[in-house]
Amino acid sequence: MALADYVIVGAGSAGCALAYRLVEAGCSVALIEFGGTDYGPYIQMPGALSYPMNMSRYDWGFASQPEPGLDHRRLATPRGKVLGGSSSINGMVFVRGNRKDFDHWSESGAEGWDYAHVLPYFKRMETWHGGAPSEYRGTDGPLHVTRGPRSNPLFDAFITAGQQAGYPLTPDYNGAQQEGFGPMEATIWKGRRWSAANAYLRPAMRSGRLQLIAGMARRVLFEGNRAVGVEVTRRRGTQQIRARREVILSASSINTPKLLMLSGIGPADHLKDHGIDLRADRPGVGANLQDHLEVYMQYHATKPVTLFSYYNLFGKGRVGLEWLLRHKGLGASNQFESCGFIRSSEVVDYPDIQYHFLPLAVRYDGKAAAQGHGFQAHVGPMRSKSRGTVRLASVDPAEAPEIRFNYMSHPDDWAEFRACVRLTRKIFGQSAFDDYRGEEIQPGASIETDAQIDAFIREHAESAYHPCGTARVGAADDPDAVVDPELRVIGVQGLRVADSSIFPRITNGNLNAPSIMTGEKAADHILGQGMLAPSNL
């Protein structure tokens, strides 16, 4: 039986950050992780990002139940099954979110999670390499945040086209102004993926106070109403990992609610159906599931300036060799080097559409949509009103839960997505692309009416892989909240949640940055030594 001050389940984005801060404070930590090592070029080389999220070695392999709003398709829901969690298989895009996201959290009951209170943690976690010093940005944190060289002319063409379409430029969407077009930021450092494992876990392990335990968490152990450890399946059988102080679940917005329910915390009727003794009736466990959907707007390129020149065996080999030898070249970038955040109309008070631009027409699974040179923008609404669930399929901890996003189940989703398609065409129609723009590959110029666009969305919309919200933070007397503002699970003692499960509402942009911030802030709540002073920027 292993024993530590704190037991954390999940060596992912939040879990690694949390473990780092706890051992930094002199505490002992047992960190449970089912996945294996993150060593190897498929993870460490930024340009290889399409590989690890499609490899069963690194990915849990989750998929949604058939989605009625998307022609009953089952959508992939990758989650990292590896050291670093999803920060080791994601696109490395770094987006904090909009200040109004966090103010909304606070207004919905998550006191102390408004922008003024989370900004100091965003600053503490990063070392920013984006330009001149900024009072919004951190200078000495574990997480290096960089920008790509934008040497391909298409990156700047996209930014210029956004300006020509009437949108502002933003020098730093993670700083004073998110809205607009500008350079995209990434967790890449010296040509390598700078995951939570590289930034936080390895320094924490050097402290000698962190024990990394390979195994699958089965359930939280209780004595009376207090969490005292975790039952884990390991190679040699079942073992108890005991906590002197607290247990923290950082197992993802899919596995965290599953573990809570297996431990008797969740909707009473659902647990009864599975024969699980009820410990705390929390209907919010597994509810409030949210995600970002996106479509790929793709165009042929009239000049051979795209990455298609390297999209063959010889080209990939040359890129890979340069990266292996020097950690430079195309392999040292995720190729998401410019972006945009815009409002779909003037009545929307802050950006509700995000763009990732890519100088290649390709899918996330690495398959080209069309042969030849092309480019694309990933575009989708940021704040869908649709909500889904994570539910147990079985009491077997090794079995995947049932995931239902209920994508496109709110009527506003359709109007928002149509706006995405039409505004993207307006942007790509600007003169900045006149020298590069060929025919529209996808959806195709003939797709114009609402009905045609809706049919395209049903057939082609894909997840941006941003699930969250399944154990949301709120006021302690909120019957639908799962954790209080200090991330303590309501109804029991000695148990907290620290990952993207706690998000009351999904943030504007990719979720890795706010997930890491959650781990950083959770550490101060747990240690009880005072929080960072709020910022009035």
Q: Cα separation of 55 and 52, whole Å? A: 5
SS3 content of the chain, % helix, strand, coil (to 5): 30, 25, 45
Residue carrying structure tokens 């706010």 = 514
Q: Is 329 annotated as a binding residue?
A: no
How do strand 29-33 and strand 210-214 relate by DSSP bridges?
A: parallel
How do strand 462-463 and strand 293-301 relate by DSSP bridges?
A: antiparallel
Q: Is 492 annotated as a binding residue?
A: no
Q: Does 292 qualify as catalytic in the annotation?
A: no
Considering the candidates 144, 373, 378, 466, report the single residue annotated as catalytic: 466
Distance between the two ends of the chain, CA-based, in angstroms? 48
Residue 19: what are its φ and ψ, rounded to 5°?
-60, -40
Q: Is 95 annotated as a binding residue?
A: no
What is the chain's alpha carbon radius of gyration, rounded to the nearest angstrom? 22
Q: 3-class SS at 404?
A: strand
Contacts of 499 by beta carbon, 8 Å cutoff, 6+ apart: 10, 12, 13, 14, 15, 249, 250, 251, 252, 253, 256, 515, 518, 519
Q: Is 406 annotated as a binding residue?
A: no
Both tokens of 310, joined, read 């390297």
Alpha helices, H only, 71-214:
99-107, 115-125, 153-164, 196, 202-205
Q: Cα separation of 97 and 341, whole Å? A: 10
Binding residues: 82, 90-93
Q: Which residues are annotated as a binding site for FAD?
A: 82, 90-93
Catalytic annotation, residues:
466
